[in-house]
Structure 1
Amino acid sequence: MLLTAAPAAAVASAPPADDSSFVRQAHRRIVFQLDQRFSILNGKIVGINGVKGGVEWRGRWRAGVGVYRLSGGVPTRIAQPEGTPPGTRDEVRFRYLAGYGEYVFIGNPRWELSTPLQLGAGSYYTKYYFPDGGVRRTKSQVLFLLEPSVGAHYRIFRWIGVGAGVGYRQVWAAGKQPEDEMSGIIFFGRVKLFLGDLIKVARGHERLFSQHGLKPEK
Protein backbone atom coordinates (compact mmCIF):
# COMPACT_ATOMS: atom_id res chain seq x y z
CA MET A 1 0.00 0.00 0.00
CA LEU A 2 1.43 3.36 -0.97
CA LEU A 3 0.32 6.62 0.66
CA THR A 4 1.36 9.88 -0.99
CA ALA A 5 1.75 13.33 0.50
CA ALA A 6 1.47 16.72 -1.18
CA PRO A 7 4.30 17.86 -3.54
CA ALA A 8 7.23 19.51 -1.79
CA ALA A 9 9.22 20.83 -4.73
CA ALA A 10 9.03 20.74 -8.51
CA VAL A 11 11.82 19.44 -10.70
CA ALA A 12 13.34 22.06 -12.97
CA SER A 13 13.10 19.98 -16.12
CA ALA A 14 11.41 16.68 -16.94
CA PRO A 15 13.23 13.87 -18.81
CA PRO A 16 12.14 12.89 -22.30
CA ALA A 17 8.80 11.05 -22.36
CA ASP A 18 10.31 7.98 -24.05
CA ASP A 19 13.16 7.61 -21.54
CA SER A 20 12.20 4.62 -19.36
CA SER A 21 15.21 5.06 -17.06
CA PHE A 22 13.29 7.82 -15.24
CA VAL A 23 10.29 7.36 -12.97
CA ARG A 24 9.40 11.06 -13.29
CA GLN A 25 8.10 11.90 -9.81
CA ALA A 26 8.64 15.61 -9.28
CA HIS A 27 8.34 15.65 -5.49
CA ARG A 28 8.88 13.88 -2.20
CA ARG A 29 6.12 11.69 -0.81
CA ILE A 30 5.34 9.54 2.21
CA VAL A 31 5.16 5.81 1.47
CA PHE A 32 3.40 3.15 3.52
CA GLN A 33 3.20 -0.54 2.71
CA LEU A 34 1.95 -3.81 4.14
CA ASP A 35 4.90 -6.08 3.43
CA GLN A 36 4.04 -9.79 3.39
CA ARG A 37 7.12 -11.94 2.86
CA PHE A 38 7.73 -15.66 2.62
CA SER A 39 10.80 -17.71 3.42
CA ILE A 40 11.97 -21.26 4.03
CA LEU A 41 12.69 -22.03 7.68
CA ASN A 42 13.64 -25.56 8.76
CA GLY A 43 12.47 -26.85 5.38
CA LYS A 44 9.02 -25.25 5.69
CA ILE A 45 7.63 -22.26 3.75
CA VAL A 46 6.57 -19.65 6.30
CA GLY A 47 5.02 -16.19 6.16
CA ILE A 48 6.61 -13.12 7.69
CA ASN A 49 4.13 -10.32 8.35
CA GLY A 50 5.42 -6.77 8.18
CA VAL A 51 4.53 -3.13 7.83
CA LYS A 52 6.91 -0.36 6.79
CA GLY A 53 6.83 3.35 6.15
CA GLY A 54 9.22 6.02 4.96
CA VAL A 55 9.92 8.73 2.41
CA GLU A 56 10.44 8.63 -1.37
CA TRP A 57 12.57 11.21 -3.20
CA ARG A 58 11.71 11.98 -6.83
CA GLY A 59 10.66 8.41 -7.56
CA ARG A 60 14.26 7.21 -7.21
CA TRP A 61 15.14 6.71 -3.56
CA ARG A 62 13.08 5.32 -0.69
CA ALA A 63 14.11 4.97 2.95
CA GLY A 64 12.34 4.22 6.21
CA VAL A 65 11.72 1.60 8.88
CA GLY A 66 9.65 -1.57 9.14
CA VAL A 67 8.64 -4.10 11.77
CA TYR A 68 8.25 -7.84 11.08
CA ARG A 69 7.24 -11.03 12.87
CA LEU A 70 6.93 -14.68 11.95
CA SER A 71 3.25 -15.34 11.21
CA GLY A 72 3.28 -18.62 13.15
CA GLY A 73 5.61 -20.91 15.03
CA VAL A 74 7.79 -23.40 13.16
CA PRO A 75 8.86 -26.81 14.59
CA THR A 76 12.46 -26.52 15.74
CA ARG A 77 15.51 -28.66 15.00
CA ILE A 78 16.81 -28.27 18.53
CA ALA A 79 16.79 -31.31 20.83
CA GLN A 80 14.25 -30.87 23.63
CA PRO A 81 15.66 -30.42 27.14
CA GLU A 82 16.18 -33.58 29.19
CA GLY A 83 13.08 -34.48 31.15
CA THR A 84 10.64 -32.90 28.71
CA PRO A 85 7.34 -34.91 28.79
CA PRO A 86 6.63 -37.07 25.70
CA GLY A 87 4.26 -35.37 23.27
CA THR A 88 5.64 -31.88 23.94
CA ARG A 89 5.46 -29.63 20.89
CA ASP A 90 8.15 -26.96 20.36
CA GLU A 91 8.25 -24.00 17.97
CA VAL A 92 10.79 -21.34 17.09
CA ARG A 93 9.59 -17.74 16.71
CA PHE A 94 11.28 -14.46 15.81
CA ARG A 95 10.57 -10.78 15.24
CA TYR A 96 12.69 -7.83 14.19
CA LEU A 97 12.86 -4.10 13.43
CA ALA A 98 14.58 -3.07 10.20
CA GLY A 99 15.74 0.08 8.48
CA TYR A 100 15.46 -0.06 4.71
CA GLY A 101 16.76 1.73 1.64
CA GLU A 102 15.56 1.21 -1.92
CA TYR A 103 16.82 2.49 -5.26
CA VAL A 104 14.65 2.45 -8.39
CA PHE A 105 17.18 2.03 -11.20
CA ILE A 106 14.77 1.71 -14.12
CA GLY A 107 11.08 2.36 -14.65
CA ASN A 108 8.33 4.61 -15.92
CA PRO A 109 4.78 5.51 -14.77
CA ARG A 110 3.65 1.96 -15.68
CA TRP A 111 6.37 -0.20 -14.10
CA GLU A 112 9.63 -0.15 -12.17
CA LEU A 113 12.53 -2.37 -11.12
CA SER A 114 14.24 -1.65 -7.80
CA THR A 115 16.82 -2.98 -5.36
CA PRO A 116 15.56 -2.91 -1.73
CA LEU A 117 18.02 -3.49 1.12
CA GLN A 118 17.09 -4.05 4.78
CA LEU A 119 19.29 -4.08 7.87
CA GLY A 120 17.69 -5.01 11.16
CA ALA A 121 17.88 -6.39 14.67
CA GLY A 122 15.45 -8.49 16.65
CA SER A 123 15.08 -11.58 18.79
CA TYR A 124 14.19 -15.25 18.60
CA TYR A 125 13.06 -17.81 21.15
CA THR A 126 11.63 -21.32 21.44
CA LYS A 127 8.16 -22.00 22.83
CA TYR A 128 7.17 -25.35 24.39
CA TYR A 129 3.59 -26.65 24.54
CA PHE A 130 3.23 -29.45 27.10
CA PRO A 131 0.63 -32.27 26.94
CA ASP A 132 -1.05 -31.00 30.14
CA GLY A 133 -1.73 -27.61 28.51
CA GLY A 134 1.22 -25.76 30.03
CA VAL A 135 3.37 -23.38 27.96
CA ARG A 136 6.96 -22.29 28.50
CA ARG A 137 9.28 -20.14 26.40
CA THR A 138 13.03 -19.80 26.46
CA LYS A 139 14.89 -16.57 27.05
CA SER A 140 14.99 -14.35 23.95
CA GLN A 141 18.27 -14.22 22.04
CA VAL A 142 19.38 -11.19 20.02
CA LEU A 143 19.85 -11.55 16.28
CA PHE A 144 20.94 -9.25 13.44
CA LEU A 145 20.02 -9.60 9.80
CA LEU A 146 20.73 -8.29 6.31
CA GLU A 147 18.20 -8.69 3.48
CA PRO A 148 19.21 -7.65 -0.06
CA SER A 149 16.57 -8.24 -2.74
CA VAL A 150 15.30 -7.25 -6.19
CA GLY A 151 11.68 -6.24 -6.70
CA ALA A 152 9.37 -5.02 -9.43
CA HIS A 153 5.82 -3.79 -9.78
CA TYR A 154 3.43 -3.13 -12.65
CA ARG A 155 0.49 -0.73 -12.50
CA ILE A 156 -2.71 -2.25 -13.86
CA PHE A 157 -4.46 1.09 -13.44
CA ARG A 158 -3.16 4.41 -12.18
CA TRP A 159 -4.13 3.65 -8.58
CA ILE A 160 -3.35 -0.07 -8.23
CA GLY A 161 -0.54 -2.44 -9.22
CA VAL A 162 0.93 -5.85 -8.59
CA GLY A 163 4.50 -6.70 -7.69
CA ALA A 164 6.92 -9.48 -6.82
CA GLY A 165 10.49 -9.91 -5.66
CA VAL A 166 13.16 -12.26 -4.43
CA GLY A 167 16.16 -11.93 -2.14
CA TYR A 168 18.16 -13.48 0.68
CA ARG A 169 18.10 -13.09 4.48
CA GLN A 170 21.43 -13.48 6.27
CA VAL A 171 21.15 -13.78 10.06
CA TRP A 172 23.79 -13.44 12.79
CA ALA A 173 23.27 -13.91 16.54
CA ALA A 174 24.78 -11.81 19.30
CA GLY A 175 25.34 -14.92 21.46
CA LYS A 176 24.93 -18.59 20.68
CA GLN A 177 24.26 -19.22 17.01
CA PRO A 178 20.73 -20.59 16.43
CA GLU A 179 20.55 -24.22 15.38
CA ASP A 180 17.43 -23.45 13.35
CA GLU A 181 17.79 -22.18 9.78
CA MET A 182 17.19 -18.46 10.24
CA SER A 183 19.06 -17.52 7.06
CA GLY A 184 17.56 -18.31 3.67
CA ILE A 185 15.86 -17.19 0.47
CA ILE A 186 12.99 -14.71 0.76
CA PHE A 187 10.31 -14.04 -1.84
CA PHE A 188 7.19 -11.92 -1.94
CA GLY A 189 4.13 -11.02 -3.97
CA ARG A 190 2.29 -7.73 -3.48
CA VAL A 191 -0.81 -5.81 -4.40
CA LYS A 192 0.03 -2.11 -4.09
CA LEU A 193 -2.59 0.59 -3.63
CA PHE A 194 -1.43 4.07 -4.67
CA LEU A 195 -3.79 5.99 -2.40
CA GLY A 196 -2.66 9.45 -3.53
CA ASP A 197 -3.44 8.66 -7.17
CA LEU A 198 -6.79 7.12 -6.21
CA ILE A 199 -7.76 10.37 -4.43
CA LYS A 200 -6.72 12.39 -7.50
CA VAL A 201 -8.86 10.18 -9.77
CA ALA A 202 -11.85 10.62 -7.46
CA ARG A 203 -11.42 14.38 -7.12
CA GLY A 204 -10.98 14.83 -10.86
CA HIS A 205 -14.03 12.69 -11.65
CA GLU A 206 -11.86 10.54 -13.90
CA ARG A 207 -12.73 7.05 -15.07
CA LEU A 208 -11.69 4.58 -12.38
CA PHE A 209 -10.36 1.93 -14.78
CA SER A 210 -8.76 4.19 -17.39
CA GLN A 211 -5.12 4.08 -18.49
CA HIS A 212 -4.71 7.84 -18.11
CA GLY A 213 -1.21 8.78 -17.02
CA LEU A 214 0.24 5.34 -17.78
CA LYS A 215 0.64 5.41 -21.55
CA PRO A 216 3.76 7.08 -23.08
CA GLU A 217 3.20 10.71 -24.02
CA LYS A 218 3.25 11.48 -27.75
Structure 2
Amino acid sequence: MNHLLKKWLGLGLLMGGLPVVAPAATADDSSRVRQAHRRVVFQFDNRYSIIDGKLVGINGLKLAVEWKGRLRAGAGGYLLSNGIPSQEEVPTGLPTGTTAELRFRYVAAYAEYLFIRSNRWELSAPLQLGVGRFFTSFEHPDGNKSKDAKSTVWLLEPSASSHFRVFPWFGIGVGAGWRETLFVDHSLDEALDGPIFYGRVKLFLGDLYKTARFKRKLFSQQHFRYQN
Protein backbone atom coordinates (compact mmCIF):
# COMPACT_ATOMS: atom_id res chain seq x y z
CA MET A 1 0.00 0.00 0.00
CA ASN A 2 2.81 2.43 0.91
CA HIS A 3 4.57 1.61 -2.34
CA LEU A 4 1.37 2.33 -4.33
CA LEU A 5 0.81 5.61 -2.46
CA LYS A 6 4.36 6.75 -3.30
CA LYS A 7 3.73 6.05 -6.99
CA TRP A 8 0.54 8.13 -6.98
CA LEU A 9 2.26 11.01 -5.18
CA GLY A 10 5.11 10.97 -7.69
CA LEU A 11 2.63 11.03 -10.58
CA GLY A 12 0.77 13.94 -8.96
CA LEU A 13 3.98 15.98 -8.64
CA LEU A 14 4.80 15.31 -12.29
CA MET A 15 1.36 16.41 -13.49
CA GLY A 16 1.59 19.54 -11.35
CA GLY A 17 4.52 20.72 -13.47
CA LEU A 18 2.66 20.29 -16.79
CA PRO A 19 0.30 22.81 -18.43
CA VAL A 20 -3.39 22.19 -17.82
CA VAL A 21 -5.43 21.39 -20.94
CA ALA A 22 -9.19 22.04 -20.99
CA PRO A 23 -11.37 18.94 -21.44
CA ALA A 24 -12.28 18.12 -25.02
CA ALA A 25 -15.97 18.68 -24.29
CA THR A 26 -15.30 22.37 -23.72
CA ALA A 27 -12.56 23.03 -26.29
CA ASP A 28 -13.94 21.69 -29.56
CA ASP A 29 -16.53 24.40 -30.26
CA SER A 30 -15.53 27.83 -31.56
CA SER A 31 -18.67 29.37 -30.07
CA ARG A 32 -17.30 28.76 -26.57
CA VAL A 33 -13.52 28.97 -26.56
CA ARG A 34 -11.03 31.81 -26.73
CA GLN A 35 -9.95 32.37 -30.30
CA ALA A 36 -6.41 31.69 -31.46
CA HIS A 37 -3.86 34.52 -31.42
CA ARG A 38 -4.28 34.90 -35.21
CA ARG A 39 -6.63 33.42 -37.74
CA VAL A 40 -7.66 34.07 -41.35
CA VAL A 41 -11.24 35.23 -41.96
CA PHE A 42 -12.92 34.91 -45.38
CA GLN A 43 -16.33 36.46 -45.97
CA PHE A 44 -18.89 37.06 -48.72
CA ASP A 45 -19.84 40.67 -48.02
CA ASN A 46 -22.99 41.21 -50.05
CA ARG A 47 -24.99 44.31 -49.16
CA TYR A 48 -27.61 46.78 -50.36
CA SER A 49 -27.26 50.49 -50.92
CA ILE A 50 -28.82 53.56 -52.51
CA ILE A 51 -26.96 54.76 -55.62
CA ASP A 52 -28.30 57.49 -57.89
CA GLY A 53 -31.63 57.28 -56.01
CA LYS A 54 -32.10 53.54 -56.62
CA LEU A 55 -31.87 50.48 -54.37
CA VAL A 56 -29.06 48.26 -55.63
CA GLY A 57 -27.17 45.15 -54.59
CA ILE A 58 -23.40 45.21 -54.17
CA ASN A 59 -21.47 41.92 -54.21
CA GLY A 60 -18.22 41.72 -52.29
CA LEU A 61 -15.49 39.39 -51.06
CA LYS A 62 -13.29 40.13 -48.03
CA LEU A 63 -10.16 38.47 -46.70
CA ALA A 64 -8.67 39.47 -43.36
CA VAL A 65 -6.50 38.42 -40.45
CA GLU A 66 -7.98 38.44 -36.95
CA TRP A 67 -5.90 39.05 -33.82
CA LYS A 68 -6.96 37.67 -30.44
CA GLY A 69 -10.63 37.68 -31.37
CA ARG A 70 -10.82 41.50 -31.19
CA LEU A 71 -9.30 43.14 -34.25
CA ARG A 72 -9.62 42.27 -37.94
CA ALA A 73 -7.79 43.92 -40.81
CA GLY A 74 -7.77 43.05 -44.48
CA ALA A 75 -9.04 43.98 -47.94
CA GLY A 76 -12.00 43.34 -50.19
CA GLY A 77 -13.41 43.91 -53.66
CA TYR A 78 -16.93 45.06 -54.62
CA LEU A 79 -19.06 45.56 -57.71
CA LEU A 80 -22.71 46.19 -58.50
CA SER A 81 -24.75 43.04 -58.97
CA ASN A 82 -26.54 44.75 -61.88
CA GLY A 83 -26.14 48.00 -63.74
CA ILE A 84 -28.28 50.98 -62.73
CA PRO A 85 -30.42 52.52 -65.52
CA SER A 86 -29.02 56.01 -66.04
CA GLN A 87 -31.30 59.03 -65.66
CA GLU A 88 -29.13 61.13 -67.97
CA GLU A 89 -29.76 61.49 -71.68
CA VAL A 90 -27.70 59.32 -74.02
CA PRO A 91 -24.90 61.46 -75.55
CA THR A 92 -25.37 62.68 -79.07
CA GLY A 93 -23.57 60.63 -81.67
CA LEU A 94 -24.75 57.28 -80.34
CA PRO A 95 -27.40 55.32 -82.29
CA THR A 96 -31.07 55.88 -81.50
CA GLY A 97 -32.32 53.26 -79.06
CA THR A 98 -29.03 53.07 -77.13
CA THR A 99 -29.55 52.33 -73.43
CA ALA A 100 -27.26 53.48 -70.62
CA GLU A 101 -26.39 51.87 -67.28
CA LEU A 102 -24.24 53.14 -64.44
CA ARG A 103 -21.45 50.82 -63.26
CA PHE A 104 -19.44 51.00 -60.06
CA ARG A 105 -16.63 48.79 -58.74
CA TYR A 106 -14.00 49.34 -56.10
CA VAL A 107 -11.46 47.75 -53.77
CA ALA A 108 -11.13 48.64 -50.10
CA ALA A 109 -8.85 48.16 -47.13
CA TYR A 110 -10.73 47.70 -43.89
CA ALA A 111 -10.31 47.39 -40.15
CA GLU A 112 -12.90 46.05 -37.74
CA TYR A 113 -12.94 46.15 -33.95
CA LEU A 114 -15.11 43.67 -32.04
CA PHE A 115 -16.61 45.40 -29.01
CA ILE A 116 -18.60 42.38 -27.88
CA ARG A 117 -17.79 38.74 -28.54
CA SER A 118 -19.51 36.01 -26.57
CA ASN A 119 -20.66 32.48 -27.26
CA ARG A 120 -23.87 33.94 -28.74
CA TRP A 121 -23.28 37.55 -29.76
CA GLU A 122 -20.83 39.58 -31.78
CA LEU A 123 -20.95 43.37 -32.15
CA SER A 124 -18.31 45.17 -34.22
CA ALA A 125 -17.51 48.45 -35.96
CA PRO A 126 -15.99 48.01 -39.46
CA LEU A 127 -14.36 50.95 -41.24
CA GLN A 128 -13.45 50.78 -44.94
CA LEU A 129 -11.35 53.07 -47.12
CA GLY A 130 -11.68 52.32 -50.80
CA VAL A 131 -10.91 53.49 -54.32
CA GLY A 132 -12.74 52.54 -57.49
CA ARG A 133 -14.16 53.50 -60.85
CA PHE A 134 -17.59 54.86 -61.73
CA PHE A 135 -18.67 54.94 -65.38
CA THR A 136 -21.60 54.60 -67.77
CA SER A 137 -21.96 51.58 -70.03
CA PHE A 138 -23.90 52.01 -73.29
CA GLU A 139 -25.58 49.16 -75.15
CA HIS A 140 -26.32 49.87 -78.80
CA PRO A 141 -29.33 48.45 -80.65
CA ASP A 142 -27.07 46.04 -82.55
CA GLY A 143 -25.73 44.59 -79.25
CA ASN A 144 -22.37 46.36 -79.26
CA LYS A 145 -21.27 48.12 -76.08
CA SER A 146 -19.20 51.17 -75.27
CA LYS A 147 -18.24 53.17 -72.17
CA ASP A 148 -17.72 56.77 -71.29
CA ALA A 149 -14.64 58.05 -69.44
CA LYS A 150 -14.21 56.41 -66.05
CA SER A 151 -14.15 58.58 -62.93
CA THR A 152 -11.86 57.65 -60.05
CA VAL A 153 -13.75 57.60 -56.76
CA TRP A 154 -12.38 57.54 -53.21
CA LEU A 155 -14.79 56.54 -50.50
CA LEU A 156 -15.10 56.04 -46.74
CA GLU A 157 -17.56 53.55 -45.24
CA PRO A 158 -18.09 53.48 -41.46
CA SER A 159 -20.67 50.98 -40.22
CA ALA A 160 -21.85 48.79 -37.36
CA SER A 161 -22.36 45.03 -37.60
CA SER A 162 -23.69 42.25 -35.39
CA HIS A 163 -24.62 38.60 -35.49
CA PHE A 164 -26.40 36.13 -33.24
CA ARG A 165 -25.68 32.39 -33.14
CA VAL A 166 -28.94 30.46 -33.18
CA PHE A 167 -27.00 27.18 -33.09
CA PRO A 168 -23.23 26.62 -32.77
CA TRP A 169 -22.98 26.20 -36.55
CA PHE A 170 -25.62 28.73 -37.70
CA GLY A 171 -26.19 32.44 -37.13
CA ILE A 172 -27.97 35.50 -38.47
CA GLY A 173 -26.47 38.96 -38.83
CA VAL A 174 -27.38 42.55 -39.68
CA GLY A 175 -25.41 45.70 -40.34
CA ALA A 176 -25.79 49.30 -41.45
CA GLY A 177 -23.57 52.24 -42.27
CA TRP A 178 -22.87 55.11 -44.64
CA ARG A 179 -20.80 55.54 -47.82
CA GLU A 180 -19.13 58.94 -48.22
CA THR A 181 -17.25 59.78 -51.41
CA LEU A 182 -14.07 61.85 -51.23
CA PHE A 183 -12.27 64.14 -53.71
CA VAL A 184 -14.97 63.85 -56.40
CA ASP A 185 -17.25 66.21 -58.33
CA HIS A 186 -20.47 67.31 -56.68
CA SER A 187 -22.53 65.29 -59.18
CA LEU A 188 -20.83 62.07 -58.07
CA ASP A 189 -21.34 63.03 -54.43
CA GLU A 190 -25.07 63.12 -55.02
CA ALA A 191 -25.09 59.87 -56.97
CA LEU A 192 -22.86 57.73 -54.74
CA ASP A 193 -23.22 59.01 -51.18
CA GLY A 194 -25.80 56.99 -49.30
CA PRO A 195 -26.66 54.31 -46.75
CA ILE A 196 -25.41 50.73 -46.81
CA PHE A 197 -27.22 47.90 -45.05
CA TYR A 198 -27.50 44.14 -45.08
CA GLY A 199 -28.98 41.07 -43.48
CA ARG A 200 -27.21 37.75 -43.82
CA VAL A 201 -27.18 34.12 -42.82
CA LYS A 202 -23.86 32.83 -41.46
CA LEU A 203 -22.65 29.23 -41.52
CA PHE A 204 -19.74 28.35 -39.23
CA LEU A 205 -18.33 25.48 -41.27
CA GLY A 206 -15.85 24.33 -38.62
CA ASP A 207 -18.60 23.85 -36.05
CA LEU A 208 -20.90 22.26 -38.62
CA TYR A 209 -18.16 19.72 -39.38
CA LYS A 210 -17.68 18.98 -35.68
CA THR A 211 -21.43 18.59 -35.20
CA ALA A 212 -21.47 15.90 -37.89
CA ARG A 213 -18.21 14.29 -36.84
CA PHE A 214 -19.10 13.92 -33.16
CA LYS A 215 -22.75 13.05 -33.96
CA ARG A 216 -24.18 15.91 -31.94
CA LYS A 217 -27.80 16.91 -32.19
CA LEU A 218 -28.08 19.35 -35.07
CA PHE A 219 -30.29 21.83 -33.23
CA SER A 220 -28.86 21.36 -29.76
CA GLN A 221 -28.21 24.28 -27.41
CA GLN A 222 -25.98 22.41 -24.97
CA HIS A 223 -22.69 23.85 -26.27
CA PHE A 224 -23.80 27.35 -25.32
CA ARG A 225 -23.91 26.45 -21.65
CA TYR A 226 -20.79 27.19 -19.66
CA GLN A 227 -19.38 24.50 -17.40
CA ASN A 228 -17.92 25.33 -14.02
TM-score (structure 2 length as normaliser) = 0.78
Give the CA deviation at 1:143: 1.1
Equivalent position SS for 2:222? coil
Matched, 1:197 2:212: no
- 1:55–1:63 contact (8 Å) kept in structure 2: yes
Give the CA deviation at 1:50: 0.6
1:36 to 46, 54, 61: 46
- 1:158–1:212 contact (8 Å) kept in structure 2: no
Alignment partners' CA distance in 1, 2:105 and 2:161: 22
AA of the residue aligned to 1:187: F
AA of the residue aligned to 2:68: R
Deviations 1:156-187 (A, max 9, x none): 11011010010001123567863761111000
Equivalent position SS for 2:210? helix
Q: Which residue of 2 aligns with 1:51?
A: 61
Residues 115 and 23 of structure 1: CA distance in aligned 2, closer, same or farther (over 3 Å): farther
Alignment partners' CA distance in 2, 1:100 and 1:173: 19
Q: Which residue of 1 aligns with 2:195?
A: 185
Q: Which residue of 1 aligns with 2:26?
A: none
Residues 79 and 178 of structure 1: CA distance in aligned 2, closer, same or farther (over 3 Å): farther
Count the aligned residue pairs. 197
Residues 135 and 118 of structure 1: CA distance in aligned 2, closer, same or farther (over 3 Å): same
Alignment partners' CA distance in 2, 1:57 and 1:181: 37
Q: Which has the higher contact order (CA 8 A, sep 6+)?
A: 1
Q: How does 1:139-218 map to 2 (within 5 A)?
A: 139-173=149-183, 178=188, 181-217=191-227
Q: How does 1:3-18 map to 2 (within 5 A)?
A: none
2:108 to 86, 92, 98: 98
Structure with higher Rg: it is 2
Greater fraction helix? 2
Residues 179 and 170 of structure 1: CA distance in aligned 2, closer, same or farther (over 3 Å): closer
For the aligned residue pairs, the C-alpha RMSD in angstroms reads 2.3
Give the CA deviation at 1:212: 3.1
With 78-87 and 159-168 compared, the bigger mean Cα shift is at 78-87
Alignment partners' CA distance in 1, 2:80 and 2:33: 33
Alignment partners' CA distance in 2, 1:53 and 1:40: 25
Q: Which residue of 2 aligns with 1:13?
A: none
Q: Which residue of 1 aligns with 2:17?
A: none
AA of the residue aligned to 1:126: T
Structure 2 gaps, min length 5: 1-31
Residues 31 and 207 of structure 1: CA distance in aligned 2, closer, same or farther (over 3 Å): same
- 2:106–2:130 contact (8 Å) kept in structure 1: yes
1:138 to 148, 161, 164: 148
- 1:68–1:97 contact (8 Å) kept in structure 2: yes
1:108 to 104, 108, 118: 118
Deviations 1:41-61 (A, max 9, x none): 122110000111111222211
